Structure formats: C-alpha cells, structure tokens
Amino acid sequence: CEHGNPANRRMHFVGTFMTLVFLASAVLSGNPWLLLGMPLVGYGMAWIGHFFVEHNRPATFKAPIWSLMGDYKMFFLMCMGRMDEEVSRCQQLMGRTPRV
C-alpha cells in the first residue's frame, strides 16, 4: 500500500529492471564488480520514488529483506499487468480510496 502513486511504481520498475541488467552484465562479462551497481540503482530509484513522489519512507529501513522481495514481486506483477489490481486490493483492505 506504500506504492499508490503510479509514478513511484514506475521508478521501482526501472530500478528493479536495471538490477537485472547489472546482474546479466556481470554474468556475461565475468566482471563481479558490476554486482555493486545492483543495490545502488535498485534502492536508489526506489528511495527517490518514496521520498520525492510518494512522500513516505521506504520499507528498506524497517525490513530490508521484505523490501527487496516486495520490489521483485511488484516488478513481476507489473510485467504481468496485475499491479494496479494489487494496489486496489491493498487499498481496499486498508480502507483507502484507490488512485490509478
């Protein structure tokens, strides 16, 4: 429910996609240093989305592992076109008005 703003979700999507690009690049090039870019770009985009778009605090500070798993779940839901449905479901559970 911390991802109600579509712009924030898009920032997460780009950041998570870029983590996969860094991973693939590290594997294909054999350069493990590229793995250092994964958290920088992934968390960087997510934090910008939370602080400047959504105006809330990222879950990374409270639950870093759950936050990471949530980012990848959100990424794959967006790839399948099911993220808006998930946001609406969550907002209804929390008693909030859905925004799309």
Q: Name which of 7, 14, 33 is nearest 71 in CA terms.
A: 14
pLDDT digits (tens, 9 = 90+) for 21-78: 999 999 999 999 999 999 999 999 999 999 999 898 888 888 888 888 989 999 999 9
pLDDT above 80 (res 15): yes
Q: Helices in the chain by DSSP H: which ranges?
A: 6-29, 37-48, 64-79, 83-93
Q: pTM of this prediction?
A: 0.83
Question: Tokens representing 10?
Answer: 């898009």
pLDDT digits (tens, 9 = 90+) for 38-48: 999 999 999 99
